[in-house]
Structure 1
Amino acid sequence: MAPAAARQRGSLCRAASRHVLFGLLVLNSFCEACKEVTFNVPSKLEAGTLVGKVNLKECLKSAEHISSSDPNFRILEDGSVFTTNTTSLSSEEKTFTILLKDVQGHEEKTIDVNLLGHQEKTPKTRHTRDTVLRRTKRRWAPIPSSLMENALGPFPMLIQQVQSDAAQYHTVYYSATGPGIDKEPVGLFYMDKNGNIFATGPVDREEYPMFKITCYATSADGYLLETPLEHTIKIEDDNDNAPEFTEDCFQFHVKEHCKSGTIVGQVTAKDRDEPNTLHTSLRYRIVSEQPSSPKIFSINSESGVISTLSSQLDREKLAKHILLIEVRDMGGQPFGLCNTTTAVIIVDDINDNVPIFSISSYEVRVQENRVNVEILRIPCLDKDEPNSTAWQCKFTIVKGNEDNHFAITTDKRTNEGILCVVKGLNYETSQLKILEITVANEIPYVIVPYSSALAQGTCTVRVIVQDVDEGPVFKPCLLRITIDGCAKGETVVGKYLAEDPETGNSEGISYRIPPEQCKWLSINENSGELRTVTLLDRDQQDRTNKQCNISVIAIDRSGKTGTGTAWATIGPCNRSPIVTPIDYILCRDKKPIFVTAFDPDMSPYSHPFTFDISDMSMRAEWQTVQNNDTSIFLSPMRDMPFGIYKIPIVVRDNAGKEGISMVTVNYCDCTTPSDCNRSQQVAPAVVLGVWAILAMILGVLLLLIILITLCVCYGRTTVHKHVIDDSANQNLILSNTEAPGEEVMDPNIIPLQAAPVHSREHRVGMGRHEVSTGGNAFEMSKGHQTLNERGQAMMEQGRDSYSEWHNFTHSRLGEKVYMCRQDEENKHSEDYVLPYNYEGRGSLAGSVGCCTDQQEEEALDFLDHLEPKFRTLAETCIKR
């Protein structure tokens, strides 16, 4: 029994042990049709408890659907009302509705059920021994019944007996419903009141393999003593069906000369008897084979797979084999049922036969200059299957057609070779052509046993050329011309000339195009030049008319004519894309420049565009980032000086047409492009390099040497040489110091000032000291006083020790120039060498160049290592 049925039956048994639910009385077992029904029940009902029984047939005979409005109650088909869950009637009254539906008749009825709860009373016992139930055997759930298929009787035949344990205490009446009893097939079985199940006749298992019936055990007054039992009647199989093949005739294909053991196909059969029994255990065998010898095929007895026994299948000998195959059940035993079918095996062709020529040599005649004319048909023989790739012949001219005068094709219907002249023969050049032609199949030849030997067919054709008085001949006979889709009228697109075959030149030949030809082109009557007639813009042309076949006639002096063909095709009108605009300003924030391109063509000859920089050196300095189909962002890849840069941008359209645009970028020291004055920007081409700076420094040094030389010469003519014992002063030179400072107290230091220069002469700024390039005398800074004797001696001494002074100043000057070359960001300074015009004597401003001593404190380490003779000067400079 099912678990739910077992629980219900257990509840009923417990109720019986308590004297049938403490005196539960069914007040109205069979009430009037569709009337309200009332049951007195205990205030607590266990799951699976019988509440009562309602007469459903009287309310609606054709009820197909029975349901309860309360899920705690279940209604059976006989009207029995059972609890599905433990239910408590706290209010001592409960109401629910039974719904009956006739789906086909579209009719519905309802029955109201009232439950009146009362407190349980101690039940009266019928027998004292009923207080404790003891079971020794459970008979209400027997094993499934069985009935042999096609049983011979006698009928009715007893199948099984069911019995309830309630029969120990009550008089039990048994009944059953379900398929085979009161449902189709009606009447095959019935159950008597004692629980015996009988069969009334034979049953076909293939039609009804089993029956599931419902058994009831009730009291004399209709009280359901047990939960309804679902019982199975299984029909045992009888081998009453012979196996049948799935097809009346099987058809398979196999390649000829296939290897032994090659699978050809599989036959299958089915048996209606019970699966996985001897009744459906099938075995196959080949009964006969046509032809009967030799035996070429075998079959797997269990799977029905057919395979080859040898490789002697030859389609050219026999293209079809027929097998008679038997299938038998009961594992192939002689007493098993059997059936037969036919298997047709078709042998497919392979290329195991080479094609051959029926005739080995031919001779034909053809007039010179004739083209596209058939001159010979060559038969071919092949034993393979007609119209197959192994039968179709392919001809090849292997010798004698070096000038491509001939072509040979295959007639697919007759398998003949068709030899044609496709290029006119010239009698004056050659009167005889000997062709050697071979033949093969469209697929490779397969070497297998029992096939013919491999020998390629060859034949020879002698072609005799006949002389004909001929007119001009165009070379080539078909001229292909591609016209630019953007070409304008009267554009020369080519020249089409004809020659006199007798003279081999084009003199005296005129040309014309017959009327009603394509009107795209015209031809010059004398020169043969082809020109466009109208504007041929691809974007305006009908795409169905973009090609044109033009016949051109050539006429010689004698009136003979020749015809040629010009095949004109309008090519794409693909103009180069360009960048617009091409001038841009890039400020110091280096915000990327938005560069766009334009192409007047239509798709697919327009965007999407691809951009690139054609100059390899520029690619290392500038980068492009694709924005969309028509634009990019252009930006520098590293720091670079301000100036004007010209960048060649290559733009390619979707068809690969490219155009180069020179984009000018003004890298300006500005915040917004509108703040940039282009005239003030310095092009990168004029930025001074290292060598230019060194050249200027060397020039300054040269001018300084000349100045010192002049001073020495002047001093020797006016001042007597005076030797000073303190050799430290030998490294001091004359300076343009305007006057001694307040802290300069050492008498060995004599500040000097050079005479002023003329207004048009230049000087090079070098910190606080300036070297004059045009002066010729020295004067004192205040009142233009002349040098005293000691100063003259020191000056003279300085001239004699110029080499020592040069060694000292040269390294310092180079260091200062190097420091002047860079600013805080290691960029070139723009004012490290500046020319100045003379502004007047005694300027208090001093030098304004970058090489001043404003950063002297950062490079005075060398003063710590001077000799004692120079310390006085070093201390004075530091106190500055």
Structure 2
Amino acid sequence: MMMQAQLHCLCLFTLYLTTGYGQEGKFSGPLKPMTFSIFEGQGPSQIIFQFKASPLAVTFKLTGETDDIFQIQPDGLLYHNKALDRETRAVHKLQVSALDAHGNTVEGPVPITIEVKDINDNRPVFLQPKYEGSVRQNSRPGSQELDPLKNPFYNLVVSVEDMGGQKEHSFSDSTSVDITVKENIWKAPEPVEIEENSTNPYPIKITQVQWNDPGALYSLVDKEKPSKFPFLIDQEGDIYVTQPLDREEKDAYVFYAVAKDEHGKPLAFPLQIQVKVKDINDNPPTCPSTVTVLEVQENEQIGSSIGTLIAHDMDEENTVNSVLRYRIVDQTPKVPRDGLFLVQTYLGTFQLAVQSLRKRDTPQYNLTVEVSDKDFKTLCFVQINIIDINDQIPIFEKPDYGNLTLPEDTAIGTVILTIQATDADEPHTGSSKILYRITQGDSEGRLEIETDPETNTGYVKVKKPLDFEAVAVHNIVFQAENPEPLVLGVQYNASSSATFRLTVTDVNEAPQFSQQVYQAKVSEDVAKGTKVGNVTAKDPEGLDISYSLRGDKRGWLKIDPVTGEIFSVAPLDREAESLYRVQVVATEVGGASLSSTAQLHLTLMDVNDNPPRLAKEYTGLFFCYPPKAPESLIFEATDDDQQSFRGRHFTFSLGSESLQKDWEVSKINGTHASLSTKHTDFEERVYHIPVRINDGGRPPLEGTVSLPVTFCKCVEDSCFQPAGHMPGIPTVGVTVGVLLTTFLVIGIILAVVFFQIKKNKGQRNVESAQASEVKPLRN
């Protein structure tokens, strides 16, 4: 026994040395709570950790869930002497205590947790060597091909493998499964036809469904969820219709039969039930409207189609129940005879049967038409209007409207002539309405004619200004026409035309510019005397023209009075006015000196002629004094040039190199930068920091700005201002200085007075002493 213990200690000692245990570090350390993870199945005598204790401890004690597996050596070496089994115990809770030579606890007990990590050391096992089951034909997904007539029985071998079958050391097991295929009687029935409006007693059984096993609970589901559902199912699976159906209301129904178990769980997929409503002839024909109105021209040929009456039957289309027949049963009036019209029996199209009609005889016919199906008849009414044809041309009341003289400045819209033609066709129709147009003598469209729709009177008006210089005499030809085409064989002739002579007299007119607005562009930095534009005007009477400018408020331009050329006479400035508008005046030389005006819009194109500047006045920049750390403030730059020209990409730098040890300027983006302090050694005063800003233009322009930054004592994030201190009032320091000076002057005066008093008192004392000395001499 002693020999076995010595051998065991020797083995541990050997393992202890070869594995590096005993060295301070990963596998040894002070006594404290710890957790270890150990794989199950490892061999015995596996060292876990070596604990170190205070010098007073001479041995260690292990307690808790050791299960005779875990032990500890007197020197603190914790190990296990048997293989661990996670399935027996997954976690061991231990306690380790350090003892002195008398067995007293020096440290601990300290909790130690051993977690047993799993390894794949158990194979999967089926609970029984053989299984039996059954499946219904087409009862669930994956079994659609099962047919009990072909293969009523299947024997399967099912295997199971752990670790997902991906490990080399996985375990497996297998078993036998016998499957019997049974017929599935849960099948959708054939579509059902139900005759509409049946008089049989309800409910009426229409079909049946049945689950494979007894005890199923049946219900019907309609996905459309109608307001009324005329079907039900009993618990035998019989499906009934509960009320008469109307095909014209709904011609087909599709719903589903559902089978559930006693817990409300569906046993299989729902079965679709299809019901078609069979039509019966239960609807009479209906007319499209109270009266169907058709039209026919009075010169229409025999056999011409006049129009169609389309009646409707709500019974099923393309069946004998909805085939309609048409028959004329009455014509009013029967002049010049009865039977003037025919109707096609199955189409309802009307034709002229005998002869052409004349509106003057009868302007309207009323027909009564019988529309029938195989069981019902309906009377519909048709009105046929006889339309007049355009067989009469307009005729002017006189062929010549004489001469008229007008000045060329006659106002637009002035009625200068009234014309009249008449038409013998039916009044207030397209055949008798007259439209007037000018076919000769007004190629430029200076005149227009408006027609009174009631009287067909034509009013000739001035549409555009008359122009003596262009045309002095207009020989006008008027044409009167109908909007409706004339019938074949009838044509317009000289009776539909009339003439008129218009003489235009000259009026002295003002010069006319070639355009009312002249556009010009020029760069703002052009030299004085540069031509910037040109205008032209003509006098209708051919007089010379003198040009001048009006509204040149900045005195930038001058115009050549003869040629109309415009020049710059002073520096232009886009930033002052980017679009410069002036009026150009053209005055005729001689005559009545009439004038007219046009606009000159001069667009000034930008050049980079403005240095950058601050976007606003920065007067309230401050840092709290004394500063505790370097700080920054942000400022923005801009300039007056166009943004598209300069692109707003400024660069920033300090205006003096001597400031670089105290200040720093950093660019944030194209328009913003920050001014930062580099230390905290600043005085309580105002610093004026010069900053150079460059716009990067062509050519680049640079400006230097000054940022006033104040270091001041702060109260609530703002500079402290003493109460009552206003500009012009002395500060506290000045006041104290004045007071001290006053006190000093007063002190000097008091000292002089005191010295003088003391001096006078001394003289009096001398005189008194001398008097005392003399007195004895007088005795």
Normalising by structure 1, we get a TM-score of 0.33
Q: Structure 1 or 2: larger helix share? A: 1
Normalising by structure 2, we get a TM-score of 0.36
